[in-house]
A and B are shown apart, each in its own frame.
Chain A
């Protein structure tokens, strides 16, 4: 579907990376879940991999400007967002799907996405069109008038993706977006990711290595709050040997990298 492109969108950027973190530290409660992470992400689809408790969700929250970093530097879209910066401008260019997102059960899907578009301070005249487009893109057109409490898990997830992409974000953060999607919907979702990743920076956190290999241009592997590996899916595959655990080349690469990182940390 078509939409108008404003002059501001086609203007060249003045920053090298959409997301840049240097020595980033973020607390989850008392625990330092992200500890000295260096990361630079440009345009494209980046898959964030890591075991449970690696700090993926905490990192996502910090990038979404929901929690304040405890230390280090974090720059989003060329603007510093650590400390007491004014986050409004950056937030207008963000899309965020939390791992567990709450919603107002009485809202319909359309009201929910409209409400989020309003919170993202989109111009009033653009909201109805953008909402319809977002709902169409995630395949919820037939359910647009249904109340949120009547949706299944996969549909809720897609409604969450719709609110994340409604403002055509320059940085899109999706925390576990494929949970509850059936195989066909996952294929559609990968298509959507590739589509959005053409001109924005998309970071997708997931447990599913095959999702990353299939849909991402870049793999980011974190463990215990630190960056373990960043490169193309092929570089992840190249790390794996025949003796490593896993059923696919990418999974073998994943487990090889993690094993090596743990061995280094244990020294």
Chain B
């Protein structure tokens, strides 16, 4: 900080600076910017004229502020802006998922003889949403986003969480409505989501989702509907295997995180 100017200099500065050279005025001003004590001294040395002028300016400013436009509302949080596209793009797919699950619950109550449809559909329920969330066909700005540092696994996971935030509660409700074990509804669902992303690192998320849904429907859903029995993979003892698979797939995804840096031609 510069040295404090003496009271006489401050008084003369307050009076409009008669007899002060420019260099002194500058150094006083620089000092005043950083020294509250000297500002207080300056306020004490002001003349009547200056005080009337200040009052007038203050009154004018108040009037101007009152007459001017209202202050702009602070920005909405980033997340709201960010998710707007995702919300609209996902809405039809998530609605479809929830409706299908609702139909499965209805069918179960009407035809109790069949194996639980909710249980059979739970693993693949989030997959359409995940595929849409990370697809260049659905995201109009994919080429812009693909070149930014934020593009990558974190962004894919954030979008996947948005899908799961809708699908998991729907599954919990459907499971509770039909009295199923929650672990057997949710763990396969998480394992399949992880598998989609893991496989997506190799062949693209959309292809991975389509492939996994096809394999699950052909290998598990159709046979169990034909034989009218619950498949081995969804019997109560298999929950541990599903949990293990989820953890293993998550580890694989972590190791292949850099595969999601580019939206390759097959995503």
List residues of A whose CB falls within 8 A of some B CB. Answer: 27, 29, 61, 64-68, 84-89, 91-92, 94, 96, 98, 100-104, 106-107, 111, 114-116, 118-121, 163
Contact assessment for A103 and B140 in the assembled complex, using a CB-CB cutoff below 8 Å: yes
List residues of B whose CB falls within 8 A of some A CB. Answer: 78, 81-82, 84-85, 88, 139-152, 258-259, 261-265
Known A87-B261, A104-B85, A118-B78; judge A66-B146 contact (CB<8 A): yes
4 shortest interchain CB distances as A-B pairs: A102-B140, A119-B148, A91-B149, A98-B143
Q: Which residues of B contact A111 (CB under 8 A)?
A: 81
Known A84-B258, A87-B261; judge A102-B149 contact (CB<8 A): no
B111 to chain A, nearest CB (A): 44
Q: Which residues of B contact A119 (CB under 8 A)?
A: 144-145, 148-151
Contact assessment for B258 and A96 in the assembled complex, using a CB-CB cutoff below 8 Å: no
**Roughly how many angstroms separate A106 CA and B141 CA in the complex, as a whole number?**
13
**Roughly how many angstroms separate A98 CA and B84 CA in the complex, as a whole number?**
22
Contact assessment for A118 and B258 in the assembled complex, using a CB-CB cutoff below 8 Å: no
Q: Which residues of A contact B139 (CB under 8 A)?
A: 102
A176 to chain B, nearest CB (A): 13
Contact assessment for B144 and A163 in the assembled complex, using a CB-CB cutoff below 8 Å: yes
Q: List 30 contacting pairs A-B, 8 Å CB cutoff, sorted by A.
A: A61-B143, A65-B262, A66-B147, A66-B262, A67-B265, A68-B262, A87-B261, A87-B262, A88-B152, A91-B147, A91-B149, A96-B144, A96-B147, A98-B143, A98-B144, A100-B143, A101-B144, A102-B139, A102-B144, A104-B84, A107-B81, A111-B81, A118-B78, A118-B82, A118-B150, A119-B144, A119-B145, A119-B148, A119-B149, A119-B150
Contact assessment for B146 and A120 in the assembled complex, using a CB-CB cutoff below 8 Å: no
Identify the closest chain A residue to B261 (Cβ).
A87
**Roughly how many angstroms separate A61 CA and B146 CA in the complex, as a whole number?**
10
Q: Which residues of B contact A65 (CB under 8 A)?
A: 147, 261-262
Contact assessment for B147 and A102 in the assembled complex, using a CB-CB cutoff below 8 Å: no
Partner of A120, one of B78, B88, B140, B148: B148
Contact assessment for B265 and A120 in the assembled complex, using a CB-CB cutoff below 8 Å: no
A89 to chain B, nearest CB (A): 8
**Roughly how many angstroms separate A121 CA and B145 CA in the complex, as a whole number?**
12
Q: Which residues of A contact B142 (CB under 8 A)?
A: 102
Knowing that A102-B144, A121-B149 are A-B contacts, what are 13 other residue pairs whose CB atoms are under 8 Å apart, sorted by A's residue number?
A27-B265, A61-B143, A65-B262, A66-B262, A84-B259, A86-B258, A86-B261, A87-B262, A104-B140, A118-B82, A119-B145, A119-B150, A121-B150
